[in-house]
Structure 1
Amino acid sequence: MPLVSTAELVSAATAENRATAAFNVITLEHAEAIAAGAEQAGTPAILQISENAVRFHGGRLSAIAAATAAVARASTAPLALHLDHVVSLDLLHAAADEGFGSVMFDASKLPYQENVRVTAEAVAWGRAHGIWIEAELGRVGGKEGEAPLGAHTPGVRTDPAEAAAYAEATGVDALAVAVGSSHAMTERTASLDHALIARLRRSVPVPLVLHGSSGVPDAEIRAAVAAGMAKINVGTALNTAFTGSVREFLAADGRSVDPRKYLAPARTAMAGTVADFLGLLRP
């Protein structure tokens, strides 16, 4: 099936007061698992490659992007390709040649005015190249090299009035907001501020994105979608399933040296995780 765009999936979800899910790709097995999980669930999904994942692949985007796109095109599920948490302008500009329909350009660590300036430039570039641009305001925290941020750390939660002004000043197509989740959580214990999500939804004219959803319990995700979240990002939960499966296999069989023996069940475990998350988002 041809690639669909992130804009198309998020727009359709927003119109129906539901959300679409985006899953992080690190290896070919991740991409295959996401496609299989979406087929299992009978639901569209977004495959996203982060700048950290590109760095893992030696800083070269082309190979992992081509492999992920090939998996998506071979799937019977509608799948989109997204470049996530990009801070490098070179990587942003590479998106247009590698089949990406959207990019999350992350200037959230910069002072507000600088964030606005560079994000507006990224959006202008995106418009010229048919690329849908997501940005972040507030600090979700927990990315590699960062400690998780406390819920009451100054500047962490996204302010609705500031978010509305930011969306207008930058022209972004979607906005990732900080409402209580954190990246890289391996336990699903996050408690979201649903009243804040609702206020943001009323204030911000573009779709809202929840990062760090791996650490958010099922009921909290459903409530977040009901309050206005349109895109739900999941990464660590796939890695937890992958690594748990590999550990289980190697503990039971300490002699096998064929990686296919443990990568196959790991891929299946990730596909199940994808299907479970997608099931949460059905109307």
Structure 2
Amino acid sequence: MPLARTGELVTRAAEGRSAVAAFNIITLEHVEAVIAGAESAGAPVVLQVSENAVKFRQGRLLPLARAATAAAERASVPVALHLDHVQSDDLLRQAPDAGFSSVMYDAARLPYAENLAATRAAVAWTHARGLWIEAELGQIGGKDGKPPLDAHAPGARTDPDEARAFVTDTGVDALAVAVGSVHAMTTRTAALDQDLLKRLSATLSVPLVLHGSSGVPDDGLVEAVAGGIAKVNVGTALNKAMTGAVRDFLAAHPEAVDSRPYLRAGREAMVREVERLIGVVAGPGSDRR
């Protein structure tokens, strides 16, 4: 089927008090695993390509985007393509022609006024081209090996009143909020501030997004979706599943030189994790069409 649109998937999830899972992809195995897991779960899914992934792919967006599009068009469930954590305006401007229906513009590292101005400009550019846009307020931390802010540091949590003004002044379609999750966690020990999340959900009129979801236990994710999260971003959990399976295969088969068997093991491990996580965030009563 044709590529789905991220905004439509997230809006439908928000209306149903559910969430759509969005998985960061790096290799073709990631693409295949995410789609296979979504098909097994019978749920729509978002394929996310981050700016860091583009850097890994030698700065070229199109090869991975074209592969993802080709795979998505053969899927039996709706699959959308999202450009994640974009800081480069040059990369932002490649999104429409590469098949992306949405972007996450990341200016959260900037002081509030600069974040506001940069995001407002990105919103104007993307909306003029029919793209849905997500932004971030508050610092989730953990990207590029940087530690998260202390929980009590200024800016470490999203302030509801500031968030309401930010959404109104920028016109963003969704907001990633900092409520205690951290990027790149390999343990599932993050404790979300669920009370803050509920206040943000009650204050804001746009869908909320949770980044750093790999570090959140299942019960925390379930409560976060019930509290207003409509898009759940996952990256590290897939990499952990893939790397663990590849490591186990090579330990059991030290003579192996053909990459296909261990990549197959890694892909299958990611399929299982995708299906499991979709079951957690979509919920048994959600509309999975």
Q: TM-score range by the shorter chain?
A: over 0.9
1:243-262 equivalences under 5 Å are 243-262=243-262
Which amino acid is 1:108 matched to? A
CA distance in 2, matches of 1:219, 1:66: 36
Give a deviation string over 1:172-201, Cα, whole Å, max 9, x none. Answer: 000000000000000100000111001000
In the aligned structure 2, how far is the partner of 1:47 from the partner of 1:112? 29
Identity percentage over the alignment? 59
How many residue pairs end up in the alignment? 283
Q: Matches of 1:63 and 1:149 in 2, distance apart?
A: 35
TM-score (normalised: structure 2)? 0.97
Q: Secondary structure at the match of 2:63?
A: helix
CA distance in 1, matches of 2:145, 2:5: 31
- The AA in structure 2 aligned to 1:24 is N
**Equivalent in the alignment of 2:45:** 45
1:31-61: CA deviation from partner (whole Å, max 9, x where unpaired): 0000000001011110000000000000010
Note the 1:11-30 alignment, pairs <5 A.
11-30=11-30
Gaps of 5+ in 2: none
Give the CA deviation at 1:154.
2.1
Task: Give the match for residue 99 of structure 2.
Answer: 99
Quick check: 1:56 aligned with 2:26?
A: no
- How many Å apart are 1:150 and its aligned residue? 2.8
In the TM superposition, 1:125-164 aligns within 5 A as: 125-164=125-164
1:271-282 map, 5 Å:
271-280=271-280, 281-282=282-283
Find the aligned partners of 2:232 and 2:145 in 1 and give their Cα distance: 23
**1:96 and 1:131 in contact (8 A); partners too:** yes
1:72, 1:150 → 2: CA distance?
40
CA distance in 2, matches of 1:148, 1:238: 21
> What RMSD, in angstroms, separates the aligned Cα atoms of the two structures?
0.7
TM-score, with length taken from structure 1: 0.99
Displacement of 1:205: 1.1
Structure 1 segments, 4+ long, off by >3 Å, are none
Corresponding letter in the other structure for 2:26? I
User: Secondary structure at 1:182's aligned position in 2?
Assistant: coil
SS of the residue aligned with 1:77?
A: coil
Report matched runs for 1:74-223 at 5 Å.
74-223=74-223
Unaligned runs of 5+ in 1: none
Q: Secondary structure at the match of 1:175?
A: strand
Residue 128 of structure 2 aligns to a residue in which SS?
A: helix
Determine the C-alpha separation between the residues in 1 that align with 2:69 and 2:263: 20
1-structure distance, mates of 2:195, 2:234: 22
Structure-2 separation of matches of 1:275 and 1:49: 19
Q: Give the Å deviation of 1:250.
A: 0.5
